[in-house]
Amino acid sequence: MSRIRPLMAAGAVVVLAASMIAGLLGGAADISPWQVVLQCLDWLPLVDVDSGLAPVEQGLLWELRLPRVLIAAAVGGLLAIAGAGYQGVFRNPLADPYLLGAAAGAGLTVTLVIVAFPGAPLSIPVAAFAGAIGGVMLAYALGNTAGRSGGTATLVLAGVAVTSFLTAIQTFVQQLKVEELQRIYAWIMGDLGGGWDQLVLVLPYALVSGVVMLLHGRMLDVLSVGEEEAVSLGVRASRVRLVVLLAASLATAAAVAVSGLIGFVGIVIPHAVRRVFGGSYRVVLPMSLIVGAAFLVVADLFARTVMAPAELPIGVVTMFVGAPFFVAVLRTTRKVSV
């Protein structure tokens, strides 16, 4: 079915809400779920209820857990929907948000900032955002000058070239400053503890890119029958691809800026969604957004609690939890091929 059904969407939203409440609960301090729900209601404008939480506990929820859960949800949703967008544009199931050099670009600029200006916290997300956008633009420029005939294949190859080139520079810079290796590595493995500042920083980009992609579901369905047929149906296929590519890259850059590099979400969530709910992008895009958000919130909860008080890097958890999850999805749903 090509359209999202209300029940399907409602179910996914309930799962997301439950995972976010679970995310707020997880941690060392002992706070009951009911109190968390009451406190969340109290935070809403015009609502005034007494959750019975002490100011310290309220502060802990407000300053640490809530922004963290929201960042996890935003990053998971953005990476998943960006992955779905890239897969639609390239008509390639292996496309992921980092395909066009976003990860390598961000990796390089963040490494440069850590090495050159240690101790300036907000400059890292800004650098990551700029690096991710820069990497994609470089790949796009390269892909376009390398020849029109190849189309998307040329673009993917340009992405591969840009990724290796930028990674080479990044590795070189990193080797020059071995004492910063741990900070660089920690960023690469992903971190969702950025707080409200970082969330607010990327929110506008996240909203714009998300809305643009959600609006293009039907167009991506038309593209799925091939470039020439899409054109014969009156669609300016290359323009649609460019718009979705820009939006997906913006979403990726926003996610990378606040979270570092988190693998697996962008490729696994859209496929899992496709398996369960069907292949139309009108379903895959919104469902990827919701399921990706819920997935990363749960993965982060796992990362924070399984070895508490120590934290696992979130990138490790997404792969550790994600791989078996994906195998399970593959095994239980055989009806849909990719």
Partner 1 sequence: MISVQGLSVTLGSREVLHEVRADVARGEWLAVIGPNGAGKSTLLRAIMGLVRHGGTVTLDGLETGTIKPRRRARLIAYAPQSPLLPPDMTVFDYALLGRTPYIPYLGRESRHDREVTGSVLERLDLAELAGRPLAHLSGGERQRVVLARALAQQAPILLLDEPTTALDLGHQQQVLELVDRLRLADGLTVLTTLHDLSVAAQYADSLLLVASGHAAASGRPSQVLTEALVSRHFGAHVKIEPGPDGRPVVHLVRGGP
* C-alpha closest to that of 255 among 89, 60, 85, 114: 85
- 324, HSE (Cβ side, Cα atoms, 13 Å): 4
The pair of structure tokens assigned to 337 is 């091929």
* Only segment of 10-18, 252-260, 278-286, 289-297 that touches partner 1 (CB under 8 A): 278-286
- If one asks whether residue 121 binds partner 1 (CB under 8 A), the answer comes out as no
- Indicate the SS3 state at residue 78: helix
Question: Residue 133: CB partners within 8 Å, gap ≥ 6?
Answer: 102, 105, 249, 250, 253
The pair of structure tokens assigned to 12 is 């996914």
Binds partner 1 by CB under 8 A, chosen from 126, 151, 279, 302: 279
- If one asks whether residue 198 binds partner 1 (CB under 8 A), the answer comes out as no
- If one asks whether residue 151 binds partner 1 (CB under 8 A), the answer comes out as no
29: left (phi over 0), alpha (psi -120 to 50) or beta: beta
- If one asks whether residue 152 binds partner 1 (CB under 8 A), the answer comes out as no
Q: Where does residue 75 rank: exposed (0-12), middle (13-18), buried (19+ CB within 10 A)?
A: buried
Closer to partner 1 by Cβ: residue 152 or 167: 152
How many angstroms separate the CA atoms of 17 and 294, rounded?
8
Give least dist CB 236 to partner 1, A: 6
Binds partner 1 by CB under 8 A, chosen from 29, 120, 207, 215: 215
Give least dist CB 223 to partner 1, A: 10
- If one asks whether residue 271 binds partner 1 (CB under 8 A), the answer comes out as no
* C-alpha closest to that of 85 among 327, 306, 286: 286
* Only segment of 177-185, 189-197, 234-242, 249-257 that touches partner 1 (CB under 8 A): 234-242
Binds partner 1 by CB under 8 A, chosen from 172, 226, 323, 330: 226
Closer to partner 1 by Cβ: residue 53 or 283: 283
Closer to partner 1 by Cβ: residue 123 or 238: 238
- If one asks whether residue 207 binds partner 1 (CB under 8 A), the answer comes out as no
- If one asks whether residue 280 binds partner 1 (CB under 8 A), the answer comes out as yes
143 with 157: CB under 8 angstroms?
Answer: yes
Give least dist CB 253 to partner 1, A: 23
Binds partner 1 by CB under 8 A, chosen from 9, 37, 137, 235: 235
Closer to partner 1 by Cβ: residue 182 or 337: 337
- If one asks whether residue 10 binds partner 1 (CB under 8 A), the answer comes out as no
CB atoms within 10 A of CB 222: 18
Cα dihedral sign for 64, 319, 255, 272?
A: negative
CA 166 to chain centre: 21
Interface residues with partner 1 (CB under 8 A) are 1-3, 215-216, 218-219, 221-222, 224-226, 228-229, 231-236, 274, 278-280, 335-337
